[in-house]
Structure 1
Amino acid sequence: MNMIEAINSAMDVALARDSNVTILGEDVGFFGGVFRATAGLQAKHGKTRVFDTPITECGIIGVAVGMAAYGLRPVPEIQFADYIYPALDQLVSEAARLRYRSAGEFPMPITVRSPFGGGIFGGQTHSQSPEGIFTHVSGLKTVVPSNPYDAKGLLLASIEDNDPTIFFEPKRIYNGPFDGHYDRPVSPWAKHEGSEVPEGYYTVPLGKAAIVRAGADVTILTYGTMVHVARAAVEELGVDAEVIDLRTLVPLDIETIEASVKKTGRCLIVHEATRTSGFGAELAAMVQERCFYHLEAPVERVTGFDTPYPHSLEWAYFPGPIRIGMALEKVMKD
């Protein structure tokens, strides 16, 4: 399966296993979603389980909060992550806090799915990576898969979780494998093990990172599309790097990160979002706090730029193998 098919399969399995699971959002029903992630689900499970909403993000999430308080497990889709901002009050003030405010009486099993990041030349209104906003909010979980296998398992785990989860889906890798390069076709190398996805039920635990490439000289912390970019850079340079796919940002697998950095003594962080106040800053602080006496060089970051996301210059904005290679040379020479 590609990632779209894996995400569709996860929702199909969840709908079949639990009658409380409900899918809602703009065009998710009859049309099957703008990226076809919900294709066929309404026809199979009915219009009361998979239904279209008006174009009102605050309404979608507001309704989902009420559904969750009532005992359902809503899976609302925000068509693009860039459109999630009108729903911030519902997410931050209601979904993230209600379980605590009610002393556990009202769990909030909401899983908000949304495509995020670049890859379709969507520019500043269809390409943002706002994960740092949500990792800052206590009470929310934030998940970013990098391959189809993880996408299905993590989505099923999120739907079954009793806390609200923001599930960001990197649309650059929606429809197939990606070798990390933006100037040439996808290579066979990119068909990694994550492309094999079981048809039935399984979960990938939240809060557990994956070491996608073992190494001894430097640790690379990344997630989503940038996992593939980082691997491409490492393979080109021949660096003995350990590449860690975080998979979930909150909860974060700090134990795996700490063990790797203490082993390698060097750390590079890669993400697509803008640099200032990006999640990489939090990662750098955590690494410094826990691994300071093991570090052989300052922690480096490769990120998007602190500018609006450009349309025509998308590949220049994306962190690519060249920029990652320059950062690796810097962190390795000290």
Structure 2
Amino acid sequence: MLKKRMLLIASLAFGLFASQASAAAMQVSVDGKSVSFNTNPIVQENVTMVQFAPIFRSLGISFSWNQQKQQITATKKGTQMILTLGSRTAYVNGTAVRMQRAPVSVNGNIFVPLRFVSEATGAKVDVSGSRISIASSRASVTPENQTPVAGGSSSGNGSSQSALSPSEDALTDYLYHYYDTLYTPDSGYEVDYAVVQEDDGSYSVTILLDNYEASGNLYAESKADPDILFDFTGEFALDLADTFGLDEVYVFVTLAMPLNGEPVDLPEEDLVELEDGSWMLMQTLFGGSYDFIEHYSEFHAFLDGGKTELLTAGEW
């Protein structure tokens, strides 16, 4: 059964690893005036990210940066935004709103999603090829194409937001949209996902790491302080529960690394042959669960021989 599950996850994982594109030739203008950036905009999964200070000044937005909280507070004509580095939850006039991408730091510069910050202050964004034109004359509105967080925040009470059972694709798309990078207190990890709905209707979310360095760092962090696994997975697990009305979520952290050619000197039990004849190394590092009815969660480490070791558990 476990082998069958790993085969399914391997087939879902193959070819999914994300890439980041540069937008060096992109031109951004506000009310007909070109915006000058010290560092060119970047595109991450079709979301244009720009340095926050130049675009805020061009839009007439007052702002401040809190180094300790890693947080931007911005205001314009009665609209206040709070954005936090690494978090896709922004607050617009106190209402929690999910952005398409989290603010990121690139070479010391903070980048924010262009469409979100523009539309949050009532601007209209028009994209034509590599040209982005912003008209800032509209009245303030809630940003378009953003997903409000149910109840304004993640409560993790397991209450259903939808009477329909969500599909595996719906959960997968949501995770890629909002949680393509997961964080521990000291590190950030770009991840991929494989979501499987089990026979009992519960969902397993497998977090896929595609290289030894990332998996080794996370393993070392988690063995030193197992509660880091709650930091790493807790936000998206609670979010899935609130958004899709889930009572329980199983979480696995797995190294899923495509191999070049025939595998040599690797444990047979960790190898999966795909339909196209290629191979993937699959090693599950940790497994855990979140029970939103009992408000209980736990994580185990996977050991040699299929054994597991309880690392951490707790109620909330």
When normalised by structure 2's length, the TM-score is: 0.29
- Greater RCO (Cα-Cα under 8 Å, separation 6 or more): 1
**Which entry has the higher C-alpha Rg, 1 or 2?**
2
**Which structure dedicates a bigger proportion of its chain to helix?**
1
